[in-house]
Amino acid sequence: MKKPTCLIMGAGIGLGTGLAHAFAAEGLCVCLTRRPRNLPELEALAGDIRSAGGEAHAFGVDARDEAQVAALVDRIEAEIGPLDVVVFNIGANVRFSIRETTARVFHKVWEMATFAGFLTGREAARVMVPRGRGTIIFTGATASMRGAAGFAAFASAKHGLRALAQSMARELGPQGIHVAHTIVDGLVDGKFARANFADVGQRADRDSILHPADIAQTYVNLWRQPRSAWTHELDLRPWTENF
């Protein structure tokens, strides 16, 4: 029998890495995606998981492309295993003042954070609903709840993703599909944080930055929840974070 499978759309170096290791440790086969140009980095992550005794596959996919997303889900179902959990984890965090936000920037952020989430969620539902089970988790951010200055494109896209998750939860919950939305409120330790914040090491030492492995454990807990007590939305932040 094929293993239950976890698909992580947007398995970057940070939360995506934590999620991949966490679900692999639970015995799931993990399928990891990033844009094709990032495939070598993704293959290295899959290799690390296999070295630790897990099963992992890497795919270069444009999550904004309808045909590619549908073909990916079909391939996983046919060749690897049934999708038991799908995590949409694409960020698209950019900062521009409203006067500098071009139509191209606004549309691209929406494509990455909202439209790609729709495609991923729809294709996950397509294969999960006939089985009457499955978990779909969308990664949100502070911007899912409020639009900060300079983040009009990102906040509107993340608001859209949150609304998508709510609609899907109300439609798919009665069909046995657990849809959850997580608000990751704060800086996550990873490649982006290490490249842009000089004090990441100090923050990590005092737990004032989100550790990917700790976030990932919450996602695993969502996947494990009994249907008599499903969580739809939760937020995660370091103990020092204002909110």
Residue-level pLDDT at 138:
98
Whether 1 shows a pLDDT value over 80: the answer reads no
Cα–Cα nearest to 56, from 12, 10, 6 = 6
Q: State the pLDDT at residue 92.
A: 83
CATH of domain 5-236: 3.40.50.720
Q: What is the pLDDT of residues 210-222, one digit of tens each?
A: 999 999 999 999 9
Phi, psi (deg, nearest 5) at residue 57: -135, 140
For the question of whether the overall pTM of this predicted structure is more than 0.75, the answer is: yes
**How confident is the model over 137-146, as pLDDT tens digits?**
999 999 999 9
The per-residue pLDDT for 212 is 94
What is the three-state SS of 95-131?
Answer: CECHHHCCHHHHHHHHHHHHHHHHHHHHHHHHHHHHH
Question: Among 151, 140, 50, 42, which residue's Cα sits nearest to residue 91?
Answer: 140
